[in-house]
Amino acid sequence: MNNTTASLLPPKTRRKTRIGLVAGGLGAYWPQFPQLLPQLKESTACVVERFQQMDAEVTDVGFVSDAQEAAIAAERLRAADCDLIVMFITTYLTSSMVLPIAQRSKTPVLVIDLQPTAKMDHATFGTGEWLAYCGQCSVPEVGNVFRRAGIPFRSVSGYLRQDSAWERIGQWIRAAHVRATLRHARHGLMGHLYPGMLDVSTDLTLLPVTFGSHVEVLEFDDLRVRVEEVTDAQVDDRMALAREVFTLDDSVQGEDFAWGAKVSVALDRLVDDFDLDTLAYYHRGLAGEQHERLGAGMILGASLLTARGVPVTGEYELRTTVAQLITQSVGAGGSFTEIQALNFEDGVVEMGHDGPADLAVSARDPLLRGLGIYHGKRGWGVSVEFDVQHGPVTTLGLGQDRDGTLVLIASEGVVVDGPLLAIGNTTSRVDFGMDPGLWVDEWSQTGIGHHWSLSIGHRAADYKAAANLLGIDFRQV
């Protein structure tokens, strides 16, 4: 999506991700080596500055030197309600200084130990200088105690200005964005299951239990009454907006375009009234009655909302809206996707979907196409057509296992150029670096449903870290 389009579709604002930050070292060293603590605090200031440059709200509780100070820091971090706590081990410290921070906050903890430079100057260093480099000494100790306490352990070891170490830290921060988003998300579910789609069916208790999210069960009548209140002037404004965002194909009928615009205005109000972060919907309808027309008129408004960071999917796909919210929260966009066909000559999987699409990841100006029928569904109207930006992509789906637990499932590939169907679908040609039939077999064996999010960039490492913070399994093809 170009900058002009982005300015027309301002993103939904959400609570900032909260990162707790605490640094520490063993206080017994300070009187023995007077220059050590000032050096460690300089390193701490550097770390604090790096975190403050990230897209997060940072609660810095300072430097701790013993278990008593650590307990005070733990209480401050508990009250801050953080999404991730980062413990910077500057030199050796005892595990008793870290354990209460994890136990009392009940928040995931990331241990980082970043020595000042890539190596010591052995010829000039004494014990005091060496101690600034021995934060790693504590890492196995803390890992052991966390395991014995039943607390997941995560660490990044490196040196202060090591780009690769900060990239690994960045993955955990992006994972914290996911956790923050899902902890406070409100998911709308409107209508009913597409008949026979057993894989789509989701236990609504799973999301609040697993993530802390809320599921708001809606009726199509909640949308109907809002559509009835939309004015002609609002319809005209929405059609004008759509003309700036989309290229209109000659197949678009004026009456269908206006109806899609009217439903779009009402959808925005529905999302605002219920403070929704996602919406999944489906209604079968019959013989052109009002609810069928509402269901058929969703695609324009759903695509505009998805581009603003509020994923909206058809076919009652609650889990896929969650997957799209995850991919969007790390800045990778995310379009509603399923397998459409395989091209064995070119070695690609063609994937996409009819209906709602994430305009933010479009390779070109998205097209609005008129459709006399929606295959497999009742109704008619306008639909969105484009292909995802060419280059690295990652699929991400939210599966559900036999025991009911949720799992994140990902695969990295590349969107490549080539012929696409012009049928009102978002379609992309994805090369996964293997025989497309083999990819389908391996992908299907993971427990994925038949929809997922197609996101920009190779992001499997981010999604793996997110699964870790969320406390669920991760699988990758």
Q: Which of 96-100, 243-247, 358-362 comes out lowest in average pLDDT? A: 358-362
pLDDT score of 307 more than 70: yes
pLDDT score of 5 more than 90: no
pLDDT score of 171 more than 90: yes
pLDDT score of 382 more than 80: no
Q: Which of 54-68, 133-147, 244-258 comes out lowest in average pLDDT? A: 244-258
Report yes or no on whether pTM surpasses 0.85: yes
pLDDT score of 133 more than 60: yes
pLDDT score of 378 more than 80: no
Indicate the helix (H) or strand (E) that contains 47: helix 36-52
Looking at the chain, the whole-number percentage of residues with pLDDT higher than 90 is 64
DSSP state of 467: H
> Which 3 state secondary structure label does DSSP give 396?
strand
pLDDT score of 474 more than 80: yes
pLDDT digits (tens, 9 = 90+) for 446-455: 999 889 999 9
pLDDT score of 181 more than 90: yes
pLDDT score of 286 more than 80: no
Cα 54 to Cα 47: distance, rounded to the nearest angstrom: 11
pLDDT digits (tens, 9 = 90+) for 384-442: 777 788 999 999 999 999 998 999 999 999 999 888 877 767 888 999 999 999 999 99
**What is the predicted pLDDT for the residue at 141?**
95
Residue among 150, 25, 17 at smallest CA distance from 87: 25
Question: What's the one-letter identity of residue 234?
Answer: Q
Q: Domain ranges for the chain, please list them.
A: 18-182, 184-476
Contacts with 208 (C-beta within 8 Å, 6 or more apart), sequence order: 214, 215
Average pLDDT over residues 439-468: 94
DSSP state of 194: P
**What is the predicted pLDDT for the residue at 421?**
76
Average pLDDT over residues 354-374: 73
In this structure, which CATH number among 3.10.20.90, 3.40.50.720, 3.40.50.10940, 3.40.30.10 belongs to the domain 18-182? 3.40.50.10940
Average pLDDT over residues 339-360: 86
pLDDT digits (tens, 9 = 90+) for 11-70: 888 888 999 999 999 999 999 999 999 999 999 999 988 988 888 899 999 999 999 999
- Which residue spans within 83-128 are E strands per DSSP? 84-89, 109-115
Cα 89 to Cα 134: distance, rounded to the nearest angstrom: 9
**What is the predicted pLDDT for the residue at 6?**
66
**What is the predicted pLDDT for the residue at 406?**
94
**What is the predicted pLDDT for the residue at 56?**
87
Average pLDDT over residues 194-202: 81
**Is the Cβ–Cβ distance between 21 and 59 less than 8 Å?**
yes
Question: What's the one-letter identity of residue 276?
Answer: L
Angle formed at CA 463 by CA 104 and CA 301, multiple of 5 degrees: 110
pLDDT digits (tens, 9 = 90+) for 13-22: 888 899 999 9
pLDDT tier for residue 463 given thresholds of 50, 70 and 90: very high
Mean pLDDT score of the chain: 89
pLDDT score of 129 more than 70: yes
Q: Which of 160-169, 191-200, 405-414, 463-472 comes out lowest in average pLDDT? A: 191-200
**What is the predicted pLDDT for the residue at 142?**
94
**What is the predicted pLDDT for the residue at 228?**
93
Sheet containing 367-371: give its strands across: 247-248, 367-371, 381-385
β partners of residue 354: 425
Question: Thinking of the domain 184-476, which architecture would CATH place it in?
Answer: Alpha-Beta Barrel (3.20)
Q: Which of 107-116, 130-139, 288-297, 436-445 comes out lowest in average pLDDT? A: 288-297
